[in-house]
Amino acid sequence: MPIFRRRKKPVTTELIVPKHVAIIMDGNGRWAQARGLPRIEGHRQGAQSVRRACEVCVEMGVQVLTLYCFSSENWKRPKEELDFLMKLLKQFLTQESKTLLEKNIRLTVIGRRDGLPSDVLEEMDLAIAKSASMTGLHLCLAINYGSRQEITDAVRSIAREVRAGTLAPDQIDETTISQHLYTADLPDPDLLIRTSGELRLSNYLLWQISYSELWITKRAWPEFSREDFLSAIEDYSKRHRRFGGL
């Protein structure tokens, strides 16, 4: 199924569009259970929302979209659900690879590779390589990701450089830490969206969202619509970002 469909209604061109939007895609399982469906059906429908989100970002000129696909804590879920999630991820990478190229979308992935099935890693690496030269939307998938483990990995990397004598402790500052995170080549998110109404960050981009604007909706991710995304951007456009100043 193609990612991009006909625009339903015109959008306001005067909006201040965030350069980087990060989304916590929450509520797939609960959405399904509330409708008497198996949890995996919620994940299947959630994939449709990914396509809609990409469509809006391309349309509105968002430069980076980072999606929280699978957290390092999600391994605690039942094996049946985990197997389906890995299958769904592989299917997305395989089926959407061509569309990413057609729409000039670059794909990257952040998180640890440990534990991910070899066939998923193969499709992931192939899609990343194919889209590496794309110059449009940068779609970043957070897979097997946790912010605390990311910061831990950054500290370890910095410690190794200090031990090797290539970095002095007094040279370590915020920029040094940012440059050692998985997101070193990305700007910090301007807008963080969370679906399903939960009021927590769930170990997601904790360093990077220090000054991000938050937008939370009670809608579950499978029902997150184009209009919802545009509402989030419109609300963001009205905010005054002071970054600690006046």
The set of catalytic residues is 26, 74
Q: Helix or strand or coil: residue 6?
A: coil
- Which helix (H) or strand (E) covers residue 109, if one does? strand 106-110
- What are 212's two structure tokens? 């991000």
d(CA 205, CA 32): 27
Q: Which 3 state secondary structure label does DSSP give 135?
A: coil
Phi-psi region of 202 (alpha: psi -120 to 50; beta: other; left: phi over 0): left
Evaluate whether 134 touches 104 at the Cβ level (below 8 Å).
Answer: yes
The arrangement of strands across the sheet holding 106-110 comes to 106-110, 138-145, 64-71, 20-24, 191-194, 213-216
